[in-house]
């Protein structure tokens, strides 16, 4: 889904652009994912697992085109200059009739922009988009040691409904549970 570009103001007073991204943004999105995944273990993969070669860029273009062409899914980023500094994806869980009312989200913010209130802005945008798209339930997964994200999701009305013990095992062997959360829309 392509939405109009919106100017947003962070809680620090700095203005940024909130945009829909598509295939033309594949390289800068992969750059964003690489950096965010290098900065924290809270992402689902490490930075060195985010490939940025021609094949990865082409695959990302295809994925972003699918999201862009959908009326009920989207990829929304906050831009500072030419860089993606925050991103949220809204994806349908499954397109079967029994579960078509459910969507999931994935959120990331560059480390140097933590504390700007961008997570709140992106989750709020995703909730509004999901409601307009006809979803009734929004879901997400978050690592159990990601205290800041858990606080954000609780503040935004999400409820924990499950926990998968040792869902992630870090390179140093540390196991981390994944908490699953949902919010009725």
3-class DSSP state of 24? helix
CATH superfamily of 6-140: Gcn5-related N-acetyltransferase (GNAT) (3.40.630.30)
Helix (H) or strand (E) holding 132: helix 118-132
Check whether 2 has a pLDDT greater than 90.
Answer: no
Dihedrals phi, psi of 81, to nearest 5 degrees? 70, -120
pLDDT digits (tens, 9 = 90+) for 69-93: 999 999 999 999 999 999 999 999 9
**Short-list 140, 149, 143, CA closest to 41:** 143
Name the pTM for this structure.
Answer: 0.95
Domain extents for the chain? Answer: 6-140
Check whether 1 has a pLDDT greater than 70.
Answer: no
Over residues 20-36, mean pLDDT: 97
Name the token pair of 173: 């062997």
pLDDT digits (tens, 9 = 90+) for 93-115: 998 999 999 999 999 999 999 99
Average pLDDT, the chain: 96
């Amino acid at each position: 889904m392509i939405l109009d570009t919106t100017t947003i103001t962070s809680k620090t007073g700095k203005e940024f652009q909130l945009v829909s991204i598509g295939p033309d943004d594949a390289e800068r999105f992969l750059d964003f994912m690489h950096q965010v995944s290098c900065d924290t273990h809270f992402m689902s993969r490490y930075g060195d697992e985010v490939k940025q070669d021609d094949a990865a860029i082409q695959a990302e273009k295809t994925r972003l085109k699918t999201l862009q062409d959908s009326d009920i899914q989207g990829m929304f980023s906050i831009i500072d200059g030419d860089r993606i500094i925050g991103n949220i994806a809204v994806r349908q869980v499954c397109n079967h009739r029994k579960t078509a009312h459910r969507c999931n989200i994935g959120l990331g913010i560059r480390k140097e922009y933590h504390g700007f209130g961008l997570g709140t802005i992106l989750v709020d945008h995703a909730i509004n988009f999901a409601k307009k798209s006809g979803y009734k339930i929004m879901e997400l997964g978050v690592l159990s040691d990601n205290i800041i994200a858990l606080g954000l999701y609780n503040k935004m009305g999400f409820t924990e409904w499950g926990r998968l013990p040792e869902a992630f095992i870090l390179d140093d062997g540390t196991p981390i549970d994944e908490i699953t959360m949902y919010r009725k829309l």
